[in-house]
Amino acid sequence: MGLSVENVFKVNEGRPNIADAIKTGEIALIINTPLGRVSRFDEQAIRRAALQYNIPCLTTMTGAQAIVEAIASRATNDAINVRSLQELHAVGTAVH
């Protein structure tokens, strides 16, 4: 997909780890899809750091897909159209 990526340690795997990278400003967006009880500690540490340092954190593949589509849409369209939920659900309103 043309993305530059780098492997990062989980919190319990040593240092520097994902929480360290969040704290140093190396992370702009987190997509963390935890699986099972083993990942609970890492999940809590990642969410805590993301919240503390104001980094968006997604935890589902559906959320990840939505943000990827939003970013792609933004890259190709300079205009942002904002509509209220009431406008979107109003009878006869066409969504473009």
Which residues lie closer than 8 Å to 42 by C-beta, 6 or more apart? 10, 11, 12, 18, 32, 34
- Positive or negative, the Cα torsion across 57, 62, 3, 39? positive
Greatest extent of the chain over all pairs of C-alpha atoms, in Å: 56
Per the DSSP assignment, residues forming a β-bridge with 30 are 57
pLDDT band at 53 (very low <50, low <70, confident <90, very high): very high
**Fold category of 11-89 in CATH:** Rossmann fold (3.40.50)
- Positive or negative, the Cα torsion across 74, 76, 78, 82? negative
pLDDT tops 90 at residue 75: no
How much is the pTM?
0.70
| Cis? peptide before 16, omega within 30° of 0 | yes
Length of the chain, in residues: 96
- Give residue limits of the domains in the chain: 11-89
**pLDDT for 96:** 56
Render pLDDT for 13-35 as a digit per residue (tens, 0 to 9).
899 999 999 999 999 999 988 77
**pLDDT for 80:** 73
